[in-house]
Amino acid sequence: MPGSHLLPAWFSKSIVDDRTTMLTEPFVHGYVRANIWHLAGRDADLLVDTGMGICPLAPEIETPRGKPLLVVATHIHLDHVGSLHEFAWRAGPRMSAAQFESMDEAATYAYMFHDLEGAVSKLPAPGWKSAEYKIPPAPLTRTLDEGDVVDLGDRQFHVLHLPGHSPDSIALFDEADGLFFSGDAIYDDKLIDSLPDSDRAAYVSTMRRLLDLPIRIGHGGHGPSFDGKRMREIATAYIRQAGDS
């Protein structure tokens, strides 16, 4: 395609440690610029969330030939499920499993992106329009709920159901190591609790639960990673704010 070499690389990658890579979409509006986490395991790799799906994500994920890639959607909002359809092993919340079969815009909020001012700061392709943005269906091959385990062979992540931001929000916690993939249940940025399916009372309950979670490091759906002290600060601030409102 003439001029295609002038188009930007859509994803940025940051090496967190020798097993963890974070990807994000720097040209997407900050409101829907989510973190995508790739963790290398012994028997399988883990991908947590899949971004907006504006450009193909799968070619950006490097895994050894023949090694399974387990992909987990922490909830069904557009900035976390856009590329889910690109992967064979798709897990997500049991609560919203039926909606993954259609990716109904009422569930994903894809319609909010259509008229978002400054939806992208650079075009992903000539003639691309946010008004035409759609998320392909991605039926789950596994459903996850509180107490389930995602096993990579050398580490096991326990599924926590942490509603508030959305009713179906889940997170993954390695109890042995303290590694926590929190999705949008908690992250070090402005927490969104005003969506049509948000529940502030449930969010407070989630924050109270997180106060006692012994994490070593948390990787959220947005913002920078955080340690246990910072997570407790975020949770405490939210509880206090909810009490004052």
Domains of the chain and any CATH numbers: 4-244 (3.60.15.10)
- β-strand partners of 21: 15, 38
pLDDT tens digit string along 148-192? 999 999 999 999 999 999 999 999 999 999 999 999 999 999 999
Tokens of 109: 């909020």
Question: 37-51: per-residue pLDDT in tens?
Answer: 999 999 999 999 999
Q: Encoding tokens for residue 179?
A: 């590694």
- Beta-sheet strands, E only, within the chain: 12-17, 20-24, 36-39, 45-48, 69-72, 90-93, 142-144, 149-151, 156-161, 170-174, 179-183, 217-220
- Name the phi and psi angles at 144, rounded to 5: -125, 140
Convert the pLDDT of each residue in 133-153 to its tens digit.
999 999 999 999 999 999 999
Q: Write down the pTM of the prediction.
A: 0.95
